[in-house]
Amino acid sequence: MGVLVSRLATPRRSALAVWYWMSGLAILTAAILPGLSPYFLFPALIGSLIVLIQSRLGDAWAGRSGEVAIFLAAIPALVIWLSLAAGAESVQGLFAHPLFTVPAAFGTMAFLPFLAIAPLGRRAWIWTSSLLAVAALFCAWMAGLEPAFNPAAPQRLNVDFLDDHVNNKSLWAIDTSAPLPEAFRRAMSFSDKPVAATPLLYRPEYVAPAGANRYPPPAAAFENIADATGRLVTLTLQGSERTNEMLLIVPKGSGLDRIEFEGKQFVPAPNADNPLGTVFGCVTRDCRNKNVTLHFVNTRPVEVWIGEIDYAIPSDGEQLENVRPATTVASQSGDTTIIFGKVKLP
């Protein structure tokens, strides 16, 4: 693409186009995606300043000073964007290829003015563009034959054991954003597609039956206190010794107004992503016996989900660990046991 557009503008216009785009995208991402803005902002600040200085020195963009200015302006963009491309490929493998192909394009875009310094003749331009297009298609075809993941860039995949005391059953669940490796399907009859196994999980997972419940559900002692606007319910969580995290889910429409914990107040988002309600998490080991106060604007009975998470899975999960391919790796909290049930607040 760089060769293809190399004859469309002079070096000066190409440089101005590149840095106008970088600056505009820096402003746009600052408004809607602030975390992405520095990737455009810092190259734009440096590149635009160098281009401005060169423009004040004269219009000899094809001269030595113009070449040096274009080169210096392009270095920050190339380093920042190609570093991001390399990091994205090592984290996500080839499965999410736009995560590194798009940053690579932004990085190399800064060198487009170089191609305009000494543009190819018409015939050479046509032949070069055609040959590069054929080479790009061939490389894409070869890349399509490669596996999406490898041991150096593995697939993020966690094995979860779900002890569901709401529906009185247990499930094995595999959390991954990519297709489930066949080795797991040979070990157990996992679902064809990810399903929403429980509201305690943030996204659908591949599931397989695991038989009856194995652990006692987490519980909570509670105390109701009426006030002028509704009632306060103080829950004393009762998790097991295995607990690493405790979770509460208060259903939508229950009238939950705020949550108080450790001297701090939290107001539920009016448009929570979880369709079942508000999720409150306490993610340290000492959460198993903490107090959480829920403020409701009414006195209607409500059923609250209570869950606990343990950063390990039962021993019979070894069959899944044993078939885990070398191209996968546990991510963040790793393999976990999630036990949950309901408590009715009258």
Q: Tens of pLDDT along the chain (346 residues)?
A: 888 888 888 877 888 888 888 889 999 999 988 888 888 888 888 887 877 776 666 555 556 777 777 788 888 888 888 888 887 776 666 666 777 788 888 888 888 887 887 788 889 989 999 999 999 999 889 988 888 888 888 888 999 999 999 999 999 999 998 899 999 999 999 999 999 888 778 789 999 999 899 999 999 998 888 888 889 999 999 999 989 999 999 988 889 999 999 999 999 877 656 667 888 999 998 999 999 999 999 988 999 999 999 999 998 888 998 999 999 999 888 999 999 999 998 8
The residues spanned by each domain of the chain are 11-144, 154-346
pTM for this predicted structure: 0.69
Task: Please say whether the beta carbons of 164 and 198 come within 8 A.
Answer: yes
Per-position b or e across 25-63, b if 16+ CB within 10 A of its CB: bbeebeeeeeeebebbbebbebbbebbeebeeeeeebee
Query: What is the per-residue pLDDT for 234?
Result: 93
* Sheet containing 206-209, strands listed edge to edge, beginning at the edge strand earlier in sequence: 206-209, 169-175, 158-164, 336-345, 302-310, 245-251, 277-282
From start to end of the chain, where are the E strands? Answer: 155-156, 158-164, 169-175, 206-209, 219-227, 230-238, 245-251, 256-261, 264-266, 277-282, 291-296, 302-310, 328-329, 336-345
Query: What is the per-residue pLDDT for 118?
Result: 77
Query: What is the per-residue pLDDT for 17?
Result: 85
Query: What is the per-residue pLDDT for 63?
Result: 64
Query: What is the per-residue pLDDT for 12?
Result: 78
Tell me which residue of 323, 321, 328, 324 sits closest to 154, measured CA to CA: 328
Tell me which residue of 185, 217, 186 sits closest to 200, measured CA to CA: 217
Query: What is the per-residue pLDDT for 59?
Result: 55
d(CA 18, CA 10): 12
Query: What is the per-residue pLDDT for 297?
Result: 92
Query: What is the per-residue pLDDT for 174?
Result: 95
- Give me the residues paired with residue 303 across strands: 344
